[in-house]
Amino acid sequence: MKRKYTLIFLLLQVIVSAFIAIEKPSFYIPQNWPKPVYNFKRNPINTDVVTLGRVLFYDPLLSKDNSISCASCHSNYNAFTHVDHKLSHGIGDSIGTRNSPALMNLAWSSTFMWDGAINHLDMQALAPITHPGEMGESFTNVAEKLKKSKLYPTLFKTAFQDSIISGERTLKALSQFMLTLISANSKYDSVMNKQALFTEQENNGYRLFKKSCASCHQEPLFTSYAFKNNGLSVDPDLNDYGRMRITKLSKDSLKFKVPTLRNLTYSFPYMHDGRFKKLSEVMNHYVSGVQKSKTLSSELAEPIHLNDNEKVDIIAFLLTLSDKQFVFNPQFAFPKEILLKAAND
Amino acid sequence: MKKCLAGLILIFSFVTNIRGQNSNICLLKVTPVFGSTNLTLGKQYFFHNQKDSVAFEMVKYYISGIQLLLNSEIVWKDTSGFYLLDAENEKSYSIPLKIPENLIFNEINFLSGIDSTTNVSGAFGGDLDPTNGMYWTWQNGYINGKFEGKSNLCKSMDSSFELHLGGYQFPYNALQSVQLKLTSKKIIEVHLELEHFINNIDIAEKHHIMSPSNEAVLMSKAFSNSFKIAQ
**Tell me: the pLDDT tens digits for A131-171?**
988 899 999 999 999 999 999 999 999 999 999 999 999 99
Residue B106: is its pLDDT beyond 60?
yes
Q: Looking at domain A187-322, what is its CATH homologous superfamily?
A: Cytochrome c-like domain (1.10.760.10)
β-bridge pairing B25-34 and B187-193 = parallel
Q: Which of these ranges, A69-83, A135-149, B145-159, B203-217, has the smallest mean pLDDT? A: A69-83
Nearest to A127 among B120, B121, B138 (CB): B138
What mean pLDDT is reported for chain B?
A: 89
B125: chain A residues, CB-CB within 8 Å: 166-169
User: What chain B residue is nearest to A144 in terms of C-alpha separation?
Assistant: B131
The residue among A25 and A209 whose pLDDT is bigger is A209
CA A260 to chain B, closest CA, distance in angstroms equals 22
Residues 6+ apart with CB under 8 A from A17: none
Distances (CA, A) of B63 to B122, B134, B177, B178: 19, 13, 10, 10
B169: chain A residues, CB-CB within 8 Å: 247
Q: What is the pLDDT of residue A344?
A: 75
A96: chain B residues, CB-CB within 8 Å: none
Reported confidence tier of residue B32, pLDDT bands at 50, 70, 90: very high
The residue among A19 and A197 whose pLDDT is bigger is A197
Pick among B116, B127, B138 to test the A interface (most A CBs inside 10 A): B138
Residues of chain A with CATH 1.10.760.10: 40-183+325-344, 187-322
Average pLDDT of the residues in B127-137? 94
The CATH classification of domain A40-183+325-344, taken from the options 3.40.50.2000, 1.20.950.20, 1.10.760.10, 3.40.50.1220: 1.10.760.10
Q: What is the pLDDT of residue A85?
A: 81
Tell me if the bond preceding A60 is cis, omega within 30° of 0.
Answer: no
Q: Which of B182, B177, B176 is nearest to B108 (CA)?
A: B182
Residues 6+ apart with CB under 8 A from B52: B46, B151, B152, B153
B135: chain A residues, CB-CB within 8 Å: 123, 126, 139
Q: Is B141 on the interface with A (CB under 8 A)?
A: yes
Q: Which of A265, A267, A279 is nearest to A315 (CA)?
A: A279
Q: What is the pLDDT of residue B15?
A: 40
Pick among A49, A171, A174 to test the B interface (most B CBs inside 10 A): A171
Q: What is the pLDDT of residue A64?
A: 93
- Positive/negative CA dihedral, A36, A38, A40, A46: negative
ipTM computed for the complex: 0.81
The residue among B188 and A341 whose pLDDT is bigger is B188
Look at A130 and B125 and tell me if their CB atoms are within 8 Å: no
Average pLDDT of the residues in B41-56? 96
Residue A276: is its pLDDT beyond 70?
yes
Spans of all domains in chain B: 2-229
What phi and psi, each to the nearest 5 degrees, are found at residue A340?
-70, -40
Q: Which of A182, A168, A161 is nearest to A46 (CA)?
A: A161
Q: Is B130 on the interface with A (CB under 8 A)?
A: yes
A142: chain B residues, CB-CB within 8 Å: 131
Distances (CA, A) of B22 to B15, B17, B76, B98, B99: 11, 9, 18, 9, 10
Q: What is the pLDDT of residue A4?
A: 61
DSSP secondary structure code for residue A285 in this structure:
I
Reported confidence tier of residue A122, pLDDT bands at 50, 70, 90: very high
